[in-house]
Homo-oligomer: A and B are copies of this chain.
């Protein structure tokens, strides 16, 4: 092996992800916005592969394997790692503000979407509509539970109104500039939209904000995702939805 090939192998990071996992999508958006190229490896977390569990004992997507083999598990941990290693020197492309007080607001909203929105919306939809199709019945697979899907569809409305509330007062969700807060929110909403469960008539300001984020080049790869046997909603990849 030449020194050159060794070097390029060491420098390319790998993201273990699942296309409709919203946490994975948040990590993909962050990497793309910061201009970090990665090899994408599709992981089906419900298979609980030994090699994947060795990278992350929690067995959850996404996991970034950075230069040198360091495993960075979980979208929020990946976001902090990228901010410290790439973002801090990225100037205007940085996805966190410099001011610690403003960083609180970004982290509050990232936790809101990664935690609360997942618990109340995307967790239900992704588990019921996608993961349960692939998991054997003995492990909890089977047809979707409609009560969970109805709960998600009710809950997403107040989350869209909250996004609209923020978007009417600020240029982006956490302030003047694009931050991880926008990427986390848009990643989760993109999964809801793929599955046809985004009620776009609910809040005009939220829709306008999402249209802006969705139009960014970092979003293109997400809009091209296709899950076999489950086509996206008609307007999913449409920038004028």
Contact = CB atoms under 8 A, between A and B. Distances in A.
A27 B75 CA distance: 22
A29 to B, nearest CB: 19
B107 A77 contact: yes
5 contacts: A58-B112, A58-B116, A73-B111, A80-B107, A85-B100
A208 B56 CA distance: 25
Closest 6 CB pairs of A and B: A84-B100, A77-B107, A72-B104, A74-B111, A73-B108, A81-B104
Interface residues of A, number: 24
A141 B116 CA distance: 21
A81 B85 CA distance: 19
B162 A77 contact: no
Q: Is the interface of A mostly helix, strand, loop or mixed?
A: helix
A124 B138 CA distance: 23
A190 interface: no
Interface in A74-130: 74, 76-77, 80-81, 84-85, 100-101, 103-104, 107-108, 111-112, 115-116
Given A57-B162, A58-B112, A58-B116, A100 B81 contact: yes
A70 interface: yes
Contacts of A58: 112, 116
A110 to B, nearest CB: 9
A77 B108 CA distance: 7
Q: Copy number in this complex?
A: 2
A108 B162 contact: no
Given A81-B100, A81-B104, A115-B115, 6 more contacts: A58-B112, A70-B101, A73-B111, A76-B111, A80-B103, A80-B107
Interface string A222-233: 000000000000
Nearest to A68: B101
Given A57-B162, A58-B112, A103 B74 contact: no
Contacts of A100: 81, 84-85
Interface in A175-194: none
